[in-house]
Homo-oligomer: A and B are copies of this chain.
Amino acid sequence: MQRYFINEALALQDEFTLSKADSHHLLKVMRAQIGEKIEVVGSDQRVWLSQLLDNAAPASLKAVQEITKSVELPVEVTIACGISKGDKNEQIIKRGTEMGASHFQFFTARYSVARWNEKKIDRKLQRFEEIAKAAAEQSHRQMIPTVEIISFADLVNSPVQHRMVAYEESAKEGEFANFKRVLSNTASGDALLAVFGPEGGLAPEEIKSFNDANFTLAGLGPRILRAESAPMYVLSAISYQFELQ
């Protein structure tokens, strides 16, 4: 069933309208008929089965039954990535949303080839937020992950409780215990920040900064993972550790 997000909290029998873009999608793309039911997530993450009242734009609906069932990862995961080339950043947002990330942060890493100037950043962020919203709808999330651009200094000083860096050199040296140790110290409800380099990896001085700030450097197994695959590994492992039991 189609799912949309709205910016207000809903209660039973509340009538409301969808945004212009979502109305267009529901009425024109999905061709919904009056009386048809869809899922709508309010700003409080409660999910309502809602009935289409009228098929003129904007789509007006009524909340007819609450169907909230938590599908969110029990750990609030921030995926922070060095800016990569091409559509890799978008892939990270798309698949990372599907796999339960709460926040995405992008930073210009020493080895980032792509550079985003001020004008580009606004366009990029808008596009990224649209991708996060669409992926959250498709994967039936209850929240849309946030996306932001962050400076390296702010990233290193991030106040998140559990902080790790996926580090290829650790893996090459056979370090395979740290990621498991981070997760064994993490409890449901905690927040975790995982940092990933761009295609070229993280520079030695960046690794030193993370190390000095007490981030845990962790290898993700003996195979070389692409920049856009490593976040999927981490999110899958967190789900496996916390959700499958």
Residue A56 lies at the interface, judged by CB distance under 8 Å to chain B: no
List of B residues within 8 angstroms of A221 by Cβ: 100, 239-240, 243-244
Using a CB-CB cutoff of 8 Å, which residues 157-196 of chain A contact chain B?
176-177, 179-180
Contact string against B for A residues 204-224, beta-carbon threshold 8 Å, 1 for contact and 0 otherwise: 000000000000000111111
Stretch at the interface among A20-28, A121-129, A133-141: A133-141
The verdict on A225 contacting B98 (CB below 8 Å), with A233-B236, A236-B237 known, is yes
List of B residues within 8 angstroms of A229 by Cβ: 95, 98-99, 232
The verdict on A139 contacting B225 (CB below 8 Å), with A233-B99, A236-B232 known, is yes
Size band of the interface chain A makes with B: 20 to 34
Residue A245 lies at the interface, judged by CB distance under 8 Å to chain B: yes
Complex Cα gap A157–B212 (Å): 55
Q: Please report whether the interface of chain A is mostly helix, strand, loop or mixed according to DSSP.
A: loop
The verdict on A224 contacting B179 (CB below 8 Å), with A95-B229, A232-B232 known, is no
Instruction: Say yes or no: B236 contacts A139, CB within 8 Å.
Output: no
Residue A226 lies at the interface, judged by CB distance under 8 Å to chain B: yes
Complex Cα gap A221–B222 (Å): 25
List of B residues within 8 angstroms of A140 by Cβ: 223-224
Selected from B99, B222, B240, the residue in CB contact (under 8 A) with A241 is B240
Residue A71 lies at the interface, judged by CB distance under 8 Å to chain B: yes
List of B residues within 8 angstroms of A222 by Cβ: 69-71, 243
List of B residues within 8 angstroms of A240 by Cβ: 179-180, 221, 233, 236-237, 240-241
The verdict on A239 contacting B233 (CB below 8 Å), with A223-B71, A224-B138 known, is yes
Chain A residues at the B interface, C-beta cutoff of 8 Å: 69-71, 95, 98-100, 138-141, 176-177, 179-180, 219-226, 229, 232-233, 236-237, 239-241, 243-245
